[in-house]
Structure 1
Amino acid sequence: MITPDIAIRDVLIGYRTRPRVASHFGHRSGGGPIHHYLATLHPQLYGPTADHGPPPTDLDELRLWALTHAGEHQQKAALDRLAAQLPHTTQLLKPPLHEPSLPAPTRAWLQDADRSIRQLASQIHRVSPAFATPHALPEHTSPTTAAPGPDPAPQDITRALADFISPDIAPDDVLLSFRPHPRTGGRFTTREATATAFGSLLHARLHGLEAAAAARPEAWEELNRSPHTAAGQQAAALVRLSNQLHSAGDILTWAQHWSHWHRLPRDIHTQLGSAATTVRELADGISKIPAAPGAALAATPALVPPAAPSPAPPRR
């Protein structure tokens, strides 16, 4: 759909919400190499395969891996990977902290955020062993969604694309963009369209219709590829960190839901919810810094070290 001679590894994909609904979905955005999104989309449409490999290290990808691949015995692996990777995300704080023009209050807030992220990792590490204990799910009950049939309709593809942002968002409010990897030297023009448009085009291709553009749901919109570059390394690093932390919040909420289905002790559910709230507050605070580096920020939430989970959660 882009150009027949481009390698998949040289295509980057981006997701964002339309401005009219952005506030309802936490101004969510994301993106990365398209091959991962395709690998995630395929089992959504055709059902999962037997082996999905180890959890990815990137938190955006880990979020997708958890939501689409992780079965009932893989929550601990996802949380362990999250705990291991969170401290590495603080490397993204180095560019802004080394910026001489950064206001002192903002610098202090970011230093507190660094410590809080590391405390979060420790908290998650203490909670994750609870998911290793044998447990049984209630019969005929599952928190996951049944896999679609073998022949997805355009609306199935559209819905799967929109779900990368949220299961509650309308597909027309999800904007997808394709852009070239920097190593390609800009071999094609960055393009953007709604999930609805891409759903129709992908359906046409999946069914072997060469005239995929016949659907023509809407014209391509040219993207301005310079905002992050113009904002500088400081803004780009903080935007990246904010997105990573939002993904961490989604992973923690996902684990919190599983803790309910696994009937784990109530304190595990509470700790996961508290950690999800904290990491999202950090993400929201960090996201405000590039736009207004001199703005006053609320104090970083203090984290209370959790109690070690029971090695044998009681059945309820």
Structure 2
Amino acid sequence: MTVFAQALHADLFGLPADDEPLPTALDTLLQATHTATAPEQQTAILRQVAEQLRNGAEIIQRYQYRAQWDRLPDDVAEQLRDAHDQAQQVAQTLDLVAPAFSSPPAAPELPGPQSRHTAAPPARPTPPAGRRR
């Protein structure tokens, strides 16, 4: 029954079924982010975006080489090289953070005797010894 309910929910809200591959077009992935509620779906979307960024980095690199081959101004190839490196760095970052969306969040530490600062309050200063009357 649960499988049927999940499939119906996916159809009603446009979620990809578990056995269907995620879309590869970035605009379609953007739409999927609006309906992806399961942690595994969110992780899969981030991983797919990372893969698309790697593809984009490869495209940028080809144009970088083309700019060098066509002897375009040096700054064009340099800017494309920077864009390539940045796209790869973002893809790597997404690969690192994506699993966090599938992991249960850490339980917040509740205030209590264990988490409070339990140091004894400072001792009251002893009044100076005075004269006795």
TM-score of the superposed pair, with normalisation by structure 2: 0.49
Q: Which has the larger radius of gyration?
A: 2
Higher helix share: 2
Say which structure, 1 or 2, has more relative contact order (CA 8 Å, 6+ apart): 1
Structure with the largest fraction of strand: 1
For normalisation by structure 1, the TM-score amounts to 0.22
